[in-house]
Amino acid sequence: MTSNAEELVSKKSFQVLPSEDYTTLKLIGTLPHDVGDDFSGELARLVTTPTFIVINCEHLNGLPAAWLRALSQFATQLIAAEKKVALIMAKPDVNSAVEGQCLQNLLPVLENLKKALTHFGIAKARSVDVNFIKPFVTGTQTVLRIQASTESTPGKPYSANPRDKFPGDISGVIGLVSDAFTGSVVISFPAETFLKIMSRMLGEEFKELTPEIQDGAGELTNIIFGQAKIGLNESGYGIKTAIPSVVSGAGHSISGTGQGPRVVIPFETDCGQFFIQICLSD
């Protein structure tokens, strides 16, 4: 069973995505004229949650008057409860609707998640939390299951020193550029683990790290990154597309991964162990 904090409430016109210290309310598509009891009830519930509220308008087409009234009343209740709310990634028509009713102080419209977290005063406190890590874990498990018929079990994430060398013999590296974070995602494999996974993916046995097979590390990293990006962007992180690269050699170093926080997620498979590292810039 999932806890209430892990549940994703989903309706046709909106989604609620809980995070550790803020909750994303995602408005979707062309909204009906009337608000509806389901949305009104969800707003009433959100007032009681102990978090800030981010209203993600990226996929919203317009903001009807009834919905704007409901959101302004919601914002008033949040402010009375000493909480904050912000709209992010709004299209011009949504921004105009807010400004047309002079509600921009009550419902500030900000560019992206990073600016909302700064507005809330929690941007620096949020480095790499469980909500950021989880899509990489589930994405990795899904990709390996589908692409390589391999089940993977994540271990407990831990912090690493930015100066530490990367474990294993080969790493796929991809830049992490988002509205909330910049840095890199690195997936590192011992040679034996990597060769077994590639053998399963490609349907033939590989016994050494040839230049041709090494490209598979970048491709696998890219697929996992793409899977994780879907979940992260649903929460408003605004992750951008990037091109992977490959670094190999025992105890290798990777330049450009930043000197900020680094979180390592170990994985176990029947092919062996491997590691995902989320490396943030300063």
Tens of pLDDT, residue by residue over 201-232, are 999 999 999 888 999 999 999 999 999 988 88
Q: How far is CA 169 from the centre of its chain?
A: 27
**What mean pLDDT comes out for the span 114-120?**
84
* CATH homologous superfamily, domain 4-120: STAS domain (3.30.750.24)
Domain boundaries, given as residue ranges, for the chain: 4-120, 130-280
Q: How far apart are the first and last CA of the chain?
A: 37
The average confidence (pLDDT) of the chain is: 85
% of the chain exceeding 90 in pLDDT: 49
Per-residue model confidence (pLDDT) at position 199: 95
pLDDT tens for 162-186 read 777 777 889 898 888 876 668 888 8
What is the DSSP code string of the chain? Answer: ---GGG--EE-SSEEEEE-SSEEEEEE-BS--SS--HHHHHHHHHHHTSSSEEEEE-TTB----HHHHHHHHHHHHHHHHTT--EEEES--HHHHHHHHHTT-TTTS-EESSHHHHHHHHT-TTT-SS-HHHHHHHHHHHHHHHHHHH---EEE---EEE-TTSPPSSSEEEEEEEE-SS-EEEEEEEE-HHHHHHHHHHHHTS---S--HHHHHHHHHHHHHHHHHHHHHHHHTT--PPP---EEEESTT---TTS-SS-EEEEEEEETTEEEEEEEEE--
**What mean pLDDT comes out for the span 253-268?**
75
Is pLDDT above 50 for 3? no
**What mean pLDDT comes out for the span 139-152?**
95
**Amino acid letter at 279?**
C
CATH topology of domain 130-280: Chemotaxis protein chec (3.40.1550)
Per-residue model confidence (pLDDT) at position 91: 92
Is pLDDT above 90 for 256? no
**What mean pLDDT comes out for the span 84-108?**
92
Which of 112-116, 120-124, 272-276 shows the lowest mean pLDDT across its residues? 120-124
Per-residue model confidence (pLDDT) at position 160: 81
Per-residue model confidence (pLDDT) at position 2: 40
Per-residue model confidence (pLDDT) at position 247: 87
Per-residue model confidence (pLDDT) at position 124: 53
CB pairs under 8 A, 24+ apart, for 258-262?
258/162, 258/182, 258/183, 258/184, 258/282, 259/162, 260/127, 260/162, 260/183, 261/127, 261/128, 261/159, 262/159, 262/160, 262/161, 262/162, 262/164
Residue 75 pLDDT level (bands cut at 50, 70, 90): very high
% of the chain exceeding 70 in pLDDT: 88
Q: Which two tokens stand for residue 253?
A: 């170093």
Is pLDDT above 60 for 187? yes
**What mean pLDDT comes out for the span 258-278?**
88
Residue 5 pLDDT level (bands cut at 50, 70, 90): very low
Per-residue model confidence (pLDDT) at position 255: 57
Per-residue model confidence (pLDDT) at position 238: 76
Q: Which residue did the predictor score with more confidence, 252 or 2?
A: 252
In whole angstroms, what is the distance from residue 134 CA to residue 16 CA? 17
CA nearest neighbour of 265 among 191, 151, 160, 173: 160
CA nearest neighbour of 62 among 24, 27, 36, 86: 27
Per-residue model confidence (pLDDT) at position 193: 95
Query: How buried is residue 195: exposed, middle or buried, by Cβ count under 10 Å (0-12/13-18/19+)?
Result: buried
